[in-house]
Homo-oligomer: A and B are copies of this chain.
């Protein structure tokens, strides 16, 4: 069966700072009509930054939708016209102060394909040099370093919840043959 849904109409119901929401009329595979609510998102990048000593650079941030501080890898949204690698370099520098000599692409992930167009590109960064954080206004986060093996153990024990952090670290583990 051809599973394709065709767009019949599209209406922006909310256009905010982070979230743009459209309600689209669609033609379903069986010829009936329905609608889809879609969060539009510019896409994002996350970076597993690994020091020569084998530590991962992490950030602790209050995540308002969950009402708690989460431990995550550095990440951020693509700016208009920005390449994913460029975004990865920028976010790593802004959030942690680190620059990296080498970046390896770990593939992408669609965090919530049912209702959101976001694509997150994942990178491994090595050959790091420490520097100064350059946080955006109204961005508050603490930087933390943990051994790579401890981070993977925390993921497998369920102690790190963020999806992109879990996936990118496990993909980095496979990539590095660890």
Interface residues of A (CB under 8 A from B): 1, 3-5, 13-14, 16-19, 21, 23-24, 26, 28-30, 32, 34-40, 60-66, 69-70, 72, 107-120, 138, 140-142, 155-156, 158, 161-164, 166-167, 170-171, 174-175
With A5-B64, A28-B140 known, 5 other A-B pairs at CB within 8 A are: A3-B61, A19-B37, A39-B39, A113-B161, A119-B161
A89 to B39, CA, bound (A): 28
* Cβ-defined contact, B19 with A140, below 8 A: no
On whether A112 and B108 interact (CB within 8 A), knowing A62-B29, A142-B1, A167-B163, the answer reads no
Q: Which residues of B contact A166 (CB under 8 A)?
A: 109, 167, 171
Nearest-neighbour CB distance to chain B for A38, whole angstroms, equals 5
Subset of 7 A-B contacts with CB under 8 Å: A3-B142, A30-B140, A32-B138, A66-B119, A109-B161, A110-B162, A163-B164
On whether A138 and B3 interact (CB within 8 A), knowing A21-B14, A156-B174, A163-B163, the answer reads no
Q: Which residues of B contact A140 (CB under 8 A)?
A: 1, 3, 28-30
* Cβ-defined contact, B114 with A18, below 8 A: yes
* Cβ-defined contact, A14 with B17, below 8 A: no
* Cβ-defined contact, A162 with B63, below 8 A: no
A164 to B38, CA, bound (A): 19
* Cβ-defined contact, B114 with A63, below 8 A: yes
